[in-house]
Amino acid sequence: MPSVSRFAFYEPDTGQIRHMHCTLVLVGGYDPTAFEEEAMAHAALERRRQPRANLVALHVTQDSLKPYSRYRVDVNVKQLVELPPTVTGKS
């Protein structure tokens, strides 16, 4: 069965998420360790030329994300917090 893992890279003072990284491993593929996954996520940030020196990585489980939702990280407990929906368009 395929496996999916995610990392959220966030600002340690505000909890604002700056980058989400997803790793998909198909059946028979190499399943990296959590350390290797985080290293790959950091490398992806480098390739995108995003400064990462001040960003902190948080492993995010599949069931902690809801479709079409926005999140930040509660920096005290190191967990995702769902943000209220934004109002778009004209009323």
Burial class (CB in 10 A: 0-12, 13-18, 19+), 56: middle
Q: Alpha helix (H) ranges present in the chain?
A: 34-47
Residue 51 pLDDT: 62
Retrieve residue 11's tokens: 């600002």
Residue 50 pLDDT: 63
Does residue 64 come out as left (phi exceeding 0), alpha (psi in the -120 to 50 range) or beta? alpha
Give the separation between CA 86 and CA 91, rounded to whole angstroms.
13
Residue 72 pLDDT: 96
Residue 37 pLDDT: 87
pLDDT per residue of the chain (91 residues) written in tens, 0 to 9:
778 888 899 999 999 998 888 888 999 999 888 889 888 888 888 887 766 668 889 999 878 888 889 999 999 999 999 999 887 655 4
